[in-house]
Structures are given as C-alpha cells and as structure tokens.
Structure 1
C-alpha cells in the first residue's frame, strides 16, 4: 500500500491479506470513508465462505491432479464486477438482502453472498458514492426533526422481508457511536444499523460531507411509527416520523 491509503484495498482487508502496517492504516481510513465501510460490509462474509471451498478443477484438466486454491483476489474482483454491472443496468432500484451467485467457471462452483444481483464483466472501479448514498439520492426522502444543529432524513423501501432504510445525517461530531432504530406503533424497538462517528464528524465545518448508512428491519412500513437516530449514551439526534 502507498502512503496514501487506497480504496481498492477493501477486498484484501476483508480477507486478512494486508500486512500489519497496511491493515492498521486501512482501519484508520475506514473511520472516515463511508463508501469503503459500506463495501467492507458487503464483502465481510466472503472470508469465511472462501475458507471452506475445495480446490478448483478446470474442465480441461479433468482427470489430472489439481492442488491449486481459489485466488481470493479473483473472487473479490468478480464480486465487484457484479456490483458495478448491477448499478449500471438497474439504476434506480437498490437490492439489499438478495442472494446472488458468483460462478467460478474453472470449477463450476457458485459462491453466494449478500450483494446486488445481475451479470456483467465491467472492469473493477471505485464508485464515488456508497450504496447507501445512491439508495438515498434515488429515492424520496422523508425529512427528520433533529437536535440543535443536526439534520437528516430517510428513504424507505418496502421489501418482502420488511423495510429497507437509507439514512442521510448531517451536523454531528464525534467521537460517537450511533444506531438507527425503528420504533413500531406498539412501542417495539428494532435496531436497523449502527456506526461510529469520528471526531471530525459529518456535515460540519471542516467536514462538510454528510453521513450515509443503510440497513433493514423485519418490521413492515405499515407497522412503523417512527425512526430514531440515537447515541449509545441515550441521546436522540434525529427523529423521522413515518
């Protein structure tokens, strides 16, 4: 890794392939990069999946002894290509929780992951927007009521499994640990997602970029009364009435 931390090291970090110094540098980078944090979430399950896959046998080498292992970098590349192709072909609809398959042609082995579906061979690239930001900007935001200086809103999408929520948050400084919580009409509270706010914050002087995160709840939109953005210390930063 160069002295300037590279966004493209997300896959290597997720698989534990970085050297110790690079791993520490990238961990620090994650605290201030929502897009890398979102991509890491999508790829985080791959390490355990890859660990249990047997060696690949190419069709042209059938009958021959094969002792190779699946190149982790190639799998990460395939995952990213599928994600990029899906964004281009299905812009306007973000799919979360859909089970997709990356087919490794050499062995005919399908590796499943919770990523956007779709086929394609687009070259690997780093999007300037995270999936959460794309989902928010492509939807119809519901504005929230914030604590002094705090603003934001939600874009909701009804799913067969519940409700997908994309959050935009501005006017917060850290260090803080926060949660987005869905509150049902009966008072039941369900955590949608959680994150950390670094000291420099989001949507504030010196750090004008808003925070974008997303997640899901099993509650249907019709059963939800409101959403809350709260700190782990119990302070409510934003309330979004549905």
Structure 2
C-alpha cells in the first residue's frame, strides 16, 4: 500500500520566494511544524532569494535567451521537412496514377473478354 501524497510537497520554493497567497502561506506555516520533509525543503531553498537578489535583471533575462533561440528550428530542418513532404506527395501521386492505369487495363481486359462471348451468343441466336 502506498503512502498518501503530501499536498504541500511542492509549496516549499513558492513559500520561500513569497509566491503563495496569504491564505496559502498561513496554511503552509501551520503545516510546517508537523512535516520534517517540507521543513527541510524550506531550509534548502532559504538561500535562493539572496542569490537571486545579486543577479542583475538584464543578466537573468539574458540567461533565458538561449532557450528562446533554441525554440526555432534551424533552416535546414525546415528544408528537410519540405523535401520529405514533397517526396511523400510524389509517391502518393505515383501510386494513384499506377492504380488508375491498372484499373483501366483491367477494365479493358474485362470488356474484351465479355464482348466476344456476347458476340458469339448473338451469332448463335441469328442462326
């Protein structure tokens, strides 16, 4: 049997950074004395606000910039995707054309096979 999940487990960082609402803050502070895990989390995050205060805002935003750039694929990826789509379309069109040619061939073969039999039947009736 598994133990119940602590609903406050992920609140430690938000508490230290002041991101909880006043009601959530009071609720979490009431929970802390009885929960060594959450108390340990709060203690481990205690130095984060001090560290964040020494990082200039511009520098912090610059650290996020590589992620924004990484979100755009390089032009080569786009070119590869376009080429793959063109190839897929070409293959699909080739299969459709082949199916049409086969259907026309089979239709002609059936028509030729049925026609002489029908002609023989009409010849027999006339004699």
TM-score (norm 1): 0.22
Larger relative contact order (C-alpha < 8 A, sep ≥ 6)?
2
Q: Which has the larger radius of gyration?
A: 2
**Per residue, is there more strand in 1 or in 2?**
1
